[in-house]
Amino acid sequence: MAGRALWLDGKLMDLGKQEELPARALIREFIEWFLGDVLDELGTRAEVEYAFRILDEGNSADRQVKVFEQTGDTKAVVDHLVRETREGVVE
């Protein structure tokens, strides 16, 4: 899967279910199970939603690799990074 952290594309053992599950799904479930009912109280809902976005779409390094794969140009990667930094990645 180009453009996303490959280590997250593996599987983790869900000890409660005694089965392997996709890492992204298990991480999401873990966060929702442990923090879901207190996100608003802690004022951290936006941060956790951004963490979910990273799980789904990848992080800045993933996006930089994708730009390089598409263009083969390190200047394009730097331009992308500058543009992303100016715009901000959190909506």
Q: What is the pLDDT of residue 87?
A: 85
pLDDT value at 85 more than 60: yes
In the chain, the largest separation of any two C-alpha atoms, in whole Å, equals 47
The model's pTM is 0.66
Average pLDDT (11-28) is: 92
Are the C-beta atoms of 17 and 29 separated by less than 8 Å? no
What's the confidence (pLDDT) of residue 18? 93
What pLDDT, on the 0 to 100 scale, is given for residue 4? 56
pLDDT digits (tens, 9 = 90+) for 28-82: 999 999 999 999 999 999 999 989 988 888 888 888 999 999 999 999 999 999 9
